[in-house]
Amino acid sequence: MSFHQRLQDVWQTQNSLVCVGIDPELEKLPAHLRAEKEPYLDFGIRIVDATAPYVCAFKPQAAHFAAAGAEQQLAKLIGYIQDRYPLIPVILDAKRGDVGSTAKLYAKEAFERYGADAVTVNPYLGHESLAPYLQYADRGVIVLCRTSNPGSDWIQGIQAGGKPLYLSVAQQVCEWDENDQCMLVTGATYPEEIGQVRACVGAMPLLVPGIGAQGGEVEAVLQAGLDTNQAGLCISSSRGIIYAGSGADFAERAAGAAKQLRDQINDARLSRGATA
């Protein structure tokens, strides 16, 4: 099964376009978890179990684990998700970008060491930096295109051949995507650009960070980015969900935030003619 087909299945079965980012920081964890032997794993499992009914993907952030020496906790968390919730893909948010043997090892790290279903990558070293990931034909390769951060325009917005560079990236990734495995990262903070990317790539799925804490608005993202089936998006929220509560009921609070976002998205989709 291609990664695109996996997404189509999970969108339909879960009736959700919500992706929950798992970005743990020790000082932000509930106090009762901080002294645990594997606090990031314990926190992640509770978040996953609470929010799984409302999501189409989970997106653990590699640096949040690696900076704390918690790579093994990351691997265990990914394994837990895949064992308990095999329908829901795990996106390793690593934003890797390198060439040659190093790129091959980064791909091996993502797909073999961690067993991720997809990984985020940086395209700015060209096709040779993406080729090792594309060789894992059943895994997702999620390419940075028009990112949500305010400083991204200095390179992504440069005019190249009469169009901004991010559209050249989108067009090129479409040409490289021979196995229906690629997605593009398009930030919710730039809805007009999401629309331009959608027009360029057709039905290719988009990963959309920037909802909530970064200021992106659901309605604008849906208007610009939904495909002809009223899907095609993984709308990612991290802090707004995983830190919705800080006490003993943090997981229940996270579940409530995930459900609220899912319902907000689905209400807007229904108003546009989507089938629940």
What is the greatest pairwise CA distance in the chain?
55
Extract the tokens encoding 53.
């009914």
Extract the tokens encoding 202.
């057709």
3-state secondary structure 204-220: CCEEECCECCCCECHHH
Is position 95 annotated as part of the catalytic site? yes
Q: How many beta carbons lie within 10 A of that of residue 222, not counting itself?
A: 23
Residues 241 and 261: beta-carbon distance below 8 Å:
yes
The active-site residue out of 76, 95, 104, 108 is 95
- Quote the CA–CA distance of 112 and 150 in Å, as a whole number: 34
Gyration radius of the chain over CA positions: 18
For the annotated catalytic residues, the residue numbers are 95
